[in-house]
Structure 1
Amino acid sequence: MGGKIVFKEYDPDQLTFLPYKLEELVPTGHPVRIVKQVVDTVDVKPINRKYKGSGASSFHPRLMLKLLVYGYLTNTYSSRKLEEQAAQNVHFMWLLGMKKPDHNTINRFRSEKLSGVLKQIFSQIVLLLEQEGIVSLKEAVFTDGTKIESAANKYTFVWGKNIKANKDKMKAQLDELWGYAQSIAAEELKDTAPLEYSEINPEKVKETISKINAALDDKEDVDKKVKQKLNYAKKHWPESLARYDEQEKLLAGRNSMSKTDPDATFMRMKEDHMLNGQLKPAYNLQISTQEQFILNYTLHQTSTDYQTLSSHIEQYQALYKDLPKAIVADTGYGSDENYGVLARKGIEAYIKYNTFDKEQKDGIKAFSNDSLHYNEAENYLVCPIGQWMAHIGNGQRVTSSGFVQLISRYRAQNCEGCPMRGVCHTTQGNRVVEINHSLRQHKQAAKERLNTEQGINLRKRRPADVEPVFAQLKHNHGFRRFLLKGMSKAEVEIGLLSIAHNLRKWKT
């Protein structure tokens, strides 16, 4: 037989001789102590300035910042969950000195008080990392981007091309109505003219419809369908155009937006659970890292990475009054514009262009524009069989970001009967090529730089430095979707997430 079973003494109603101190319940080296230590050292004056001098007393900004930073460090993002933790979790209770902000207070602080100023707090913490010798703001940084879904409803599309198509359709129908009115009431409309496309706005359309109605008012044989169209147009078109105008202002040149979060753009999401790259309202998050610490973060409304680099670097300079020695990034950033921006700022660009990896493996493709020898002194190209291709003119090409590229055109002298004609080009006449000499030079310099010992080392480090940070944020800590709508509020969330990531990595 077994021995007597003995249980530890347990009496939940037993009184203790002395009450517990919360301090005794928080282990030394616990992350909550790190949050308190670091947030106590930062200057919160930028947040203080957001408060008005009169009214009821408020929770101290430092207390609220600690609550949010530790919340994001422990994957507690909801304001209601943070309210619960402040009342129930020993670590939160110790950190807040038993203060209990409610979820409305937490949400207002996050949405309003941190908007536009949190980056100043974030940069102070990065500077502390530099003082500790953990990172260097003057050395190479690794830059990459990922898309994070907006808090907007998924299926609230507004497409710029649809707005234009609807306005085009409206203009065509209005022209038809005008033409019909002219055919039977030319005298009444002799002092007016049909609308130009630039005049398709609520006031002008309303005015034109009124003129057509007035001209047809005393005519007996007016087509009933025309009358119906005019009545429909009078009732609906001005209101629709006013809505289109407002939507175009919110789009601000973008192709799409969400009705429930106009700042968000529809982007193709790689991590979509359907695994079919669904379009969803999202923001493009760009970060620069070093030793897997986030040194800079920016949020963008464009889905293409190459359009984000210039403003991303400008913010880095604004935060630290300095620039990194080098930027290492993948092919998504390799553009004429970006190479030029970095060159002017004195930053070494370890950035691949779109054909770099293929060239490394297979060499430059035969008969491609890049394979043609260029004589810079006399400004001509040499075709694959050694024939000169004379310069025949220059032009410009404007990219989707508005950057103007200078293009030079060259034409072969005589392709007739050339044995290479079938593989060289298939167009009629002599071969004509267009060359962007600025990009050609940037690509050559990038190729040489990337193949140095330093370039090879940085290329190997890039995926091991910046990509794991995204894995930490999105997979390990479950941040795949913003809680708040709007660009400024989403930036606050990313700022809190970045601070929490840096503190988590710093002290663990």
Structure 2
Amino acid sequence: MFKNYIMNQVVLPLDLEIKLQKNDIAFSVHDLVEQIPHEAFDSFIRSTGCPAYHPRMMMKIILCAYTQSVFSGRKIEALLGDSVRMMWLAQGHEPSYRTINRFRVCPEVKALLRECFVQFRCHLVKEKHIDDEAIFIDGTKLEDYSAGLIERSNQLYDELVEKEIIPEIERESPEVLSTKELAKVVGKLEDTVDELTTTIESSKDVSERKQLRSARKMPKQLLKQFKDFVARKQKYEQAMATFGTRNSYSKTDRDATFMRMKDDYMKNGQLKAGYNVQIASEGQYALAYDVFPNPTDTRTFIPFLNTIENHFFTLPKYIVADAGYGSEENYEDVFENRTATPLITYNMYRKEKTKRAQKNTFNTANWKYDEETDSFTCPNNQQLTFRHLSQKTDRNGFSREFKVYECESCTGCPFRSECTKAKEGNHRKLLLNVKWEQQKEKIRTLLSDEKTGEIYGRRKIDVEPVFGFLKANLGFTRLSVRGQERVQNEMGFALMAVNLRKLTARNAT
């Protein structure tokens, strides 16, 4: 016996919701987007033209696709035809990949994504998945992909087929034309151009020859472009094969990698194009994000905190980050301008705690200080007395004030070579940034406290797994769009997809 299976029998339309499991991720996506207030969609309303797809529906299908590690507009379009959860979320609508791609980079979508994060965090707090006591900040670099070549080649290919200049070719992927497929397009265009050229040469009618030359113009121009696409694609694939797991290589020694060494004072090493993605997390959920073009985390800290306060939520009591964020400017901002406490180490924090550093007699932190005379005593028992104040302003406009101390005499000092690199005749100087030292002392006190020390200890197991899930589990390792605004949208979809997968898995247990 077999179960009833008749292909030509009429079947009534089925409510696709009953085909989904109770804990299907589609329900999480649906519930999240439905929580976005109606007024958030007002900017999408148009009084003229054809009625647009509802932005709620577009948000749902793109978010759901990203949770399934599908980031291509063409593949999202394909899912709408064969995925039950996508069909249910779209409710019968089938927007094209062009519509999907245009929507997800639309400037107005940024506000919707931020609203998604706000609503998601409210849900976590309400369900007590997070305690709202601290946020953990970290960043990662994501490489910018050669999206221009892919987009342009796909666009021209579609145009060629649509205008019947060449016949459609078999493709392995609807998303990207491979090198072999590009070569096939070149071959088809060469056949078309050769055929037209032969017809032109055999025709004796001047008017007909003129029309044929006009018809040959476009295929001839596109032939040149596709030959260029093939060359660029081959060059890119060769370069990527040479890169392997690295981010650069030397043309003269392909096993060598360009790296920024410690003695690279000019800082002119080879770098790949990319963005610095910053996130704030708690409970291993991404609660806020932003994208910056500058590579250093130190310079992104204050702008990112501003983004969080302006667009996501009020800062909690503790802000936790690693030593890459520890600087006088950042500490000053949190201590004086925010109603929060920084649990952020600084570069020398761990080194200062080692026995070697504490016993190093040439470490100025170990030199005896006399408050009455405002002087330090060096290993040779010479006094370094206060001389004057000095102010230094960095290239970003932040000013630091230093107290300058100078040794009375370094002449004949047996420790001179170990103590200073100053030229002979110049005396040892010590620059003391009082404010910086006070800030560091506050941080050391906070991190040595049992409660705040325990909160800082959670940093590695809270924020770093979010990036691991994003890259390893979701498979999101490269950006497919260009421009900071568009990249922000794509990162919003990707990070929320990580959140939804984690929450769905948690609810299923």
Scaled by the length of structure 2, the TM-score of the pair is 0.70
Identity %: 30
Please state if 1:37 is matched with 2:31: yes
Give, in whole Å, the separation in 2 of the partners of 1:114 and 1:121. Answer: 13
> Contact 1:269/1:280 (CA < 8 Å) preserved in 2?
no
Note the C-alpha offset of 1:113: 5.0
Q: Secondary structure at the match of 1:280?
A: coil
SS of alignment partner, residue 318 of structure 1:
helix
Superposed CA offset, 1:437-462 (max 9, x none): 22122112212222222243233211
Distance 1:148 1:17, change over 3 A: closer
Structure 1 counterpart of 2:277? 285
Inter-partner Cα distance in structure 1 for 2:372 and 2:44? 61
Q: Which amino acid aligns with 1:83?
A: E
Aligned match for 2:314, one of 310, 314, 322: 322
The residue type equivalent to 1:347 in the other structure is A
> 1:444-463 maps to which residues of 2 (within 5 A)?
444-463=441-460
Q: Over aligned residues, Cα RMSD in angstroms? A: 2.7
**For residue 339 of structure 2, what is the aligned residue in structure 1?**
346
Q: Deviations over 1:20-75 (max 9, x none)?
A: 43122111111111111221122153333133222110111110110111111111
Aligned to 2:204: none
Q: Amino acid of the residue matched to residue 60 of structure 2?
A: K
Query: Would the alpha carbon gap of residues 113 and 420 (structure 1) be closer, same or farther in structure 2, given more than 3 Å must change?
Result: closer
CA distance in 2 between partners of 1:10 and 1:38 (Å): 39
Is 2:49 aligned against 1:55?
yes
Match of 1:417 among 403, 409, 412: 412
Structure 1 residue 299: deviation in Å? 0.8
Q: Which residue of 1 aligns with 2:95?
A: 101
Q: Match for 1:464 among 453, 461, 464?
A: 461
Quote the Cα distance in structure 2 between the aligned partners of 1:63 and 1:473: 24
Which of 337, 346, 352 matches 1:359?
A: 352
Aligned counterparts of 1:320 and 1:353: Cα–Cα separation in 2: 27
**1:271 offset after TM fit, Å?**
6.5
Q: Aligned partners of 1:57, 1:497: CA distance in 2, in Å?
A: 28
How far apart, CA to CA, are the structure 2 residues paired with 1:335 and 1:270? 32
> In structure 2, what is the equivalent of residue 308 of structure 1?
300
Deviations along 1:178-219, whole A, 9 cap, x unmatched?
xxxxxxxxxxxxxxxxxxxxxxxxxxxxxxxxxxxxxxxxxx
- Take 2:431 and 2:148, find their aligned partners in 1: how far apart are those partners? 42
Q: Distance in 2 between matches of 1:371 and 1:270?
A: 44
* Distance in 1, Cα, partners of 2:7 & 2:273: 53
After superposition, residues 134-145 of structure 1 pair within 5 angstroms as: 134-137=129-132, 139-145=133-139
Residues 492, 269 of structure 1: CA spacing in aligned structure 2 closer, same or farther, 3 A cutoff?
Answer: farther
The answer (yes or no) to whether the contact 2:143–2:479 under 8 Å persists in 1 is: yes
C-alpha separation between the residues in 2 aligned to 1:269 and 1:417? 56
Q: 1: distance between equivalents of 2:372 and 2:303?
A: 36
Q: Distance in 2 between matches of 1:45 and 1:433?
A: 60
Match of 1:437 among 434, 438, 456: 434
* 3-state SS of 1:409 partner: strand
* Structure-2 change in CA distance of 1:441 and 1:269 (3 Å): farther
- In structure 2, what residue type is equivalent to 1:503? L
* Aligned-partner SS, 1:471: helix
> What SS does structure 2 have at the residue aligned with 1:69?
helix
Query: Which residues of structure 1 form unaligned runs of 5+?
Result: 1-6, 156-267
- CA 92–115 in structure 1, closer or farther in 2 if over 3 Å, else same: closer
Measured in 1, the distance between the counterparts of 2:80 and 2:24 equals 17
1:464 partner letter: I
1:201-350 alignment runs, 5 A limit: 272=247, 276=257, 279-320=271-312, 322-344=314-336, 345-350=338-343
The number of residues matched between the two structures is: 389
SS in 2 for 1:472: helix
Alpha-carbon distance between aligned partners in 2 of 1:502 and 1:450, rounded to the nearest angstrom: 29
Distance 1:270 1:387 in 2: 54
- Following superposition, the deviation at residue 115 of structure 1 comes to 4.2
CA distance in 1, matches of 2:293, 2:14: 51
Q: Which residue of 2 aligns with 1:223?
A: none
Cα shift at 1:377: 6.3
Measure, in 1, the Cα distance between the counterparts of 2:479 and 2:462: 24
Match of 1:86 in 2: 80
Matches within 5 A, 1:350-429: 350-362=343-355, 363-364=357-358, 365-375=360-370, 379-427=374-422, 428=424, 429=426
Q: CA deviation at 1:339?
A: 1.0
- For residue 27 of structure 1, the aligned residue among 21, 25, 33 is 21
Shift >6 Å, 4+ stretches: 268-271
For 2:353, give the aligned amino acid.
Q
What is the TM-score with the length of structure 1 in the denominator?
0.71
Q: Tell me by how many angstroms 1:18 deviates.
A: 5.3
Q: Is the 8 A contact 1:387 1:413 kept in 2?
A: yes
The answer (yes or no) to whether the contact 1:269–1:279 under 8 Å persists in 2 is: no
**Aligned-pair CA distance for 1:471:** 0.5
